[in-house]
Amino acid sequence: AQKVTQAQTEISVVEKEDVTLDCVYETRDTTYYLFWYKQPPSGELVFLIRRNSFDEQNEISGRYSWNFQKSTSSFNFTITASQVVDSAVYFCALSEAYNTDKLIFGTGTRLQVFP
Amino acid sequence: DVKVTQSSRYLVKRTGEKVFLECVQDMDHENMFWYRQDPGLGLRLIYFSYDVKMKEKGDIPEGYSVSREKKERFSLILESASTNQTSMYLCASSLGQGSIYEQYFGPGTRLTVT
């Protein structure tokens, strides 16, 4: 069965610290997609990144980076030099090739960045 | 910018009432979705629609129905609200079918059923 696990419920850091949010997934498909979304206090989820299962190359976008490792079924998200504006709930999600419109979300990780 | 709007940010209803949650997107997206978000459970899909008058059940459709009479509008209906439907409801839309299209979310409606 498909499942996304975000074991970290809440993380608190001080500004400028690096922080990694963990995401572990389960799927029987060989073709699937992984996502990260950010939910700031305003409530609406904001899309951050999508990766397909055939592309294990790590990605960097400014202070954000993602590490995809099929061997450990993980898709971890690192924020470098965190800022107060990074405070939000972050969700990892999975969709499978046979049912690509359906996103399976993890339970989310609340990140608090203190000044 | 894609805009997904929801009719209310906060709603308080009584047990047994019929409740309508409205969602409108302005980017001519094919797909629309309704989720509920609960602490410790993440987001769970209630229903989605890939075309006008079409609907598909998600993971937790019981107690809900939906309506999509126009492409831009997707309504979630609680036929007889119950206290266990107190939750945050999020609407989303995407351009087409398939995961190459990310979902765009509205700000959510926090529904309290008393």
The pLDDT of residue B68 is above 60 = yes
SS (H, E, C) A9-47: CEEEEECCCCEEECCEEECCCCCEEEEEEEECCCCCCEE
CB A75 within 8 A of CB A51: yes
User: What is the average pLDDT score of chain B?
Assistant: 92
The pLDDT of residue B15 is above 90 = yes
The pLDDT of residue A100 is above 90 = no
What average pLDDT does this structure show over B44-56? 92
**Interfacial B residues in 4-43 facing A (CB < 8 Å):** 4, 9, 31, 40-43
The pLDDT of residue A99 is above 80 = no
pLDDT in tens, A19-66: 999 999 999 888 889 999 999 988 889 999 999 898 888 888 999 999
CB A23 within 8 A of CB A107: no
Report the distance separating Cα A61 and Cα A84, nearest Å: 18
The residue that leads in pLDDT, B64 or A100, is B64
Give B22 to chain A, closest Cα distance, Å.
15
What average pLDDT does this structure show over A71-93? 96
Give the closest of B42, B99, B108 to A107, CB-based: B42
- Interface of chain A against chain B, CB under 8 Å? 4, 6, 9, 33, 35, 37, 42-47, 50, 52, 91, 95, 100-103, 105-108
* pLDDT reported for residue B100: 64
* pLDDT reported for residue B2: 64
Q: Of B62, B32, B101, which Cα lies nearest the Cα of A47?
A: B101
pLDDT in tens, B74-104: 999 999 999 999 999 999 998 876 656 788 9
* pLDDT reported for residue A6: 97
Size of the A and B interface in Cβ pairs below 8 Å: 58
The pLDDT of residue B1 is above 80 = no
Report the distance separating Cα B24 and Cα B40, nearest Å: 28
Q: Is B98 on the interface with A (CB under 8 A)?
A: yes
